[in-house]
């Protein structure tokens, strides 16, 4: 399997786990989605660097230079960033629903 396939599987698994954790925090601890989004926003850069370094080591081990793995680490950072922004939007949507339900 190519490094791109491994990276996309890692990104999909990571986003699935992060969203399950955010939903679990919302249901069990009543923590809003914007808090989870803010934490993801803060963690996205170090997480992208960490996963990028793993991908670079894998690619260099297979004989590559590591350039595509470096671009994939940027993809990780952007993917987690977009997920954090999506959590902000979901939180905003829930707030709008709460406000409209109170007025009725």
Residue 91 neighbours by CB under 8 Å, 6+ apart: 32, 33, 34, 37
User: Do the Cβ atoms of 72 and 3 come closer than 8 Å?
Assistant: yes
User: Do the Cβ atoms of 73 and 10 come closer than 8 Å?
Assistant: no
For residue range 33-68, what is the model confidence (pLDDT) as tens digits? Answer: 888 888 888 888 888 888 888 888 888 888 888 888
**Residue 10 banded pLDDT, cuts 50, 70, 90:** confident
State how far Cα 13 lies from the chain centre: 10
Domain ranges of the chain: 3-103
Q: Quote the CA–CA distance of 57 and 53 in Å, as a whole number.
A: 6
The pLDDT value recorded for residue 1 is 66
For range 74-94, the mean pLDDT = 88
**Residue 16 banded pLDDT, cuts 50, 70, 90:** very high
Tokens, residue 47: 């997480």
**Helix orientation angle between 67-103 and 33-61, rounded to the nearest 10 degrees:** 170
What pTM, to 2 d.p., does this model score? 0.77
The pLDDT value recorded for residue 20 is 92
Q: Quote the CA–CA distance of 12 and 7 in Å, as a whole number.
A: 9
């Amino acid at each position: 399997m190519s490094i791109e396939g491994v990276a996309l599987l890692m990104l999909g698994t990571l986003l699935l786990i992060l969203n399950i954790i955010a939903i679990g925090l919302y249901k069990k601890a009543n923590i809003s989605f914007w808090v989870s989004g803010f934490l993801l926003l803060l963690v996205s850069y170090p997480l992208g660097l960490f996963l990028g370094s793993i991908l670079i080591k894998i690619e260099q081990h297979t004989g590559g230079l590591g350039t595509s793995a470096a671009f994939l680490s940027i993809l990780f950072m952007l993917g987690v960033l977009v997920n954090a922004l999506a959590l902000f939007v979901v939180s905003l949507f829930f707030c709008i629903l709460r406000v409209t339900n109170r007025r009725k």
